[in-house]
Amino acid sequence: MKSLAIRTFLPFLAWFPLINRSSLRADFIAGLTGAVIVLPQGVAFATIAGLPPQYGLYTAMVTPIIAALFGSSRHLISGPTTAISIVIFASVSHHATPGTPEFITLALTLTFLAGVYQLAFGLARLGVLVDFVSHTVVMGFTAGAAILIATSQLKHVLGISIPRGESFAHTWVDIYHLLDQTNFAVLGIALVTLLTAVVCKRLFPRWPNLLLGLIAGSLAAVVAGGSDHGVTFVGEIPAQLPPLSMPDFSVAAIRQLAPEAFAVALLGLIEAVSIARSVSTRSHQRIDGNQEFIGQGLSNIVGSFFSSYAGSGSFTRSGINYQAGARTPMAAIFAAVLLMLVVLLIAPLTAHLPVAAMGGVILLVAYGLIDFRHIAETLAKSRGETAILLVTFFSTLFLELEFAIYLGVLLSLILYLARTSRPEIITLAPDTHERKHRLVNIKTKPVSECPQLKIIRIDRAIYFGSVSYIQGRIDVITEIQGIVHILIDASRMNYIDMAGADMLVQENRRLQARGGGLYFCGLKSKVWQFIAEGRYVRAIGAAAFFDHKSQAIAAIFRKLDKDTCRKCSRRIFTECATVEEVT
């Protein structure tokens, strides 16, 4: 118990012994790579969130350190992300004007509340929650968020004026009407940035393509004459470390932001755990979802007091961190510390960074969010998954973002319940060509069945959601096939609840009234313990439960109608040989 508490609250003690001179060298190189990559991303993501550019960098300085120390993944890099940034903007812009001090305070308050939710989930050991959110929902939401991000940046790329806070549809209507007012100097800078980043990524994949794109865009602005042609600039970022900040803890602010904070918390956890598990498939590290919840929660809580807005795991930075040779979470800490040094040295240069160049970089980031291959596979292979993908995608575009997240989670749960509510029920019969008459699936190997005894195997669980489906299958056996003796192979039944047990008792009584009954074999210890302690064994009758199929068949065979057996030519059980066949 004591060791569990230490692992929960001081998880870094588990990987500290792995640090040596060799690992520090590898982690430093990976951290340097991460610091260069996150510099343009941090500025871009803060812009998406409606915050001053430096807040994205502050988030990339504070969040990774806390998440690395208190999370479970050795390669996950936390910090500002695209999806979280757009949810922050959508949530807080309802209550304050983006970029204003009030907006910043509310964003920090939202970050603190999201961190509290995440920490509470982790301490309550609810890490399995993210398993119920399907990858299809995440794909749909991310693709929708990418379209929203790209749409929000078109005004900066085209150099046209569109009011803040416009809906997705209204923004495109404005773009259509203002297209003839495009500033071609601004558009040229954005295209130079975009093309430079794309070409560098294609030719030199290890180079910081986004940073090189921004440099090219800045040079293009100088060549184009800059502000003389209506080109606007990001402005100088303060050359300082993250300053102390204070979220708004008033009851009104907490009540106002609590629902949106829950959506941010949920999205952040889905991102972080999904990315950590994705990287762990290559690093062969075991990920503790609960510990990751705690790490993400603490990083957002602490970050809210150091001018950092909500962060989560970054797929790009985490993947590059692993590819760069990182061995321990020290790589994330090095990346944050090196970013601090970089900002202190080059912050004044951001005064020459065109907004159009930032727009070009953000368009590229948005494009990278869309998983075209998996979306195409989903559309081609599954109608159900396609429906979930499209509903989540269009909800993200046309509804409130936090509602789209809730809807996606709800759809995931519905999908899960729909699948588990129809457990696979396999019909088994003896293979008379084998010496031991092994039971086989009649769908995979067509063998004869007994006309009086039905043998089925119920896979997965019998619970309130699957009761109706299982009852329907038993009704088909009794009413249509006329069989009243049913043996259930429970070797793959992993769970049963009260509703499921009550259903079995009810069906057994119905079959007994018709001269038959339900019989069970191969129950797992947990299932047996539940039905025994709940007195369901007594209600059905202890004689109906068997350890092995052969024992069950022998006992049930004695209850079968022998006149029917004598007329039967199938003779599939070894016991059939004891009954004289009518000639």
Tell me the domains of the chain and their CATH numbers: 20-417 (no CATH), 425-578 (3.30.750.24)
What is the mean pLDDT of the segment spanning 466-490? 94
Inter-axis angle of helices 21-48 and 54-70, nearest 10 = 140
Mean pLDDT of the chain, nearest integer: 88
In order, the DSSP letters of 153-219 are HHHHHHT----TT--HHHHHHHHHHHGGG--HHHHHHHHHHHHHHHHHHHH-TTS-HHHHHHHHHHH
pLDDT tens, residue by residue, 146-190? 898 889 889 989 989 888 767 888 999 999 999 999 999 999 999
**Confidence label for 537 from pLDDT (cuts 50, 70 and 90):** very high
What is the mean pLDDT of the segment spanning 253-269? 92
CA-closest candidate to residue 110, choices 274, 313, 398, 308: 308
pLDDT of residue 274: 79
Q: Is the pLDDT of residue 127 over 80?
A: no
**Confidence label for 523 from pLDDT (cuts 50, 70 and 90):** very high
Alpha carbons within 13 angstroms on the beta-carbon side of residue 484 total: 12
Q: Is the pLDDT of residue 583 over 70?
A: no
- CB within 8 Å of 7: residues ≥ 6 apart: 13, 14, 291
* Burial environment of residue 8 by CB neighbours within 10 A (0 to 12, 13 to 18, 19 or more): middle
pLDDT tens, residue by residue, 283-296? 778 788 889 999 99
pLDDT of residue 173: 93
- The whole-angstrom separation of Cα 268 and Cα 289 is 13
Q: Is the pLDDT of residue 7 over 70?
A: no
pLDDT tens, residue by residue, 540-561? 999 999 999 989 999 999 999 9
- CB within 8 Å of 246: residues ≥ 6 apart: 105, 108, 305
What stretch of H or E contains 460?
strand 460-462
Q: Which residue has the higher pLDDT, 401 or 196?
A: 196
Phi, psi of 141 (to 5 degrees): -65, -45
In order, the DSSP letters of 69-88 are HHSS-SS--EE--HHHHHHH
**Confidence label for 368 from pLDDT (cuts 50, 70 and 90):** confident
The 3-class secondary structure across 254-313, one letter per residue, is HHHHHHHHHHHHHHHHHHHHHHHHHHHHHHCCCCCHHHHHHHHHHHHHHHCCCCCCCCEE
**Confidence label for 5 from pLDDT (cuts 50, 70 and 90):** low
Q: Which range (71-80, 412-421, 511-520, 566-575) has the least confidence?
A: 412-421
pLDDT tens, residue by residue, 70-98? 998 999 999 999 889 989 998 998 899 99
333: number of Cβ within 10 Å: 18
- Token pair recorded at residue 247: 């979220």
Report the length, in residues, of the chain.
583
Quote the Cα angle for 70-254-401, to 5°.
80
CA-closest candidate to residue 139, choices 345, 474, 369, 483: 369
Share of the chain above pLDDT 70, in %: 97
23: number of Cβ within 10 Å: 17
Alpha carbons within 13 angstroms on the beta-carbon side of residue 308 total: 33
What is the mean pLDDT of the segment spanning 48-73? 94
pLDDT of residue 441: 92
Q: Which range (30-44, 91-105, 226-240, 566-580) has the least confidence?
A: 226-240
CB-based contact 356:190 (threshold 8 Å): yes
Q: Are strands 485-489 and 545-546 parallel, antiparallel or unpaired?
A: unpaired
Q: Which residue has the higher pLDDT, 440 or 208?
A: 440
pLDDT of residue 228: 75
- Token pair recorded at residue 470: 């299982």
What is the mean pLDDT of the segment spanning 197-218? 86
pLDDT tens, residue by residue, 304-353? 999 999 999 887 788 778 877 889 999 999 999 999 998 998 878 777 88
**Confidence label for 237 from pLDDT (cuts 50, 70 and 90):** confident
CA-closest candidate to residue 544, choices 523, 525, 563: 523
- The whole-angstrom separation of Cα 37 and Cα 21 is 25
CB-based contact 35:338 (threshold 8 Å): yes
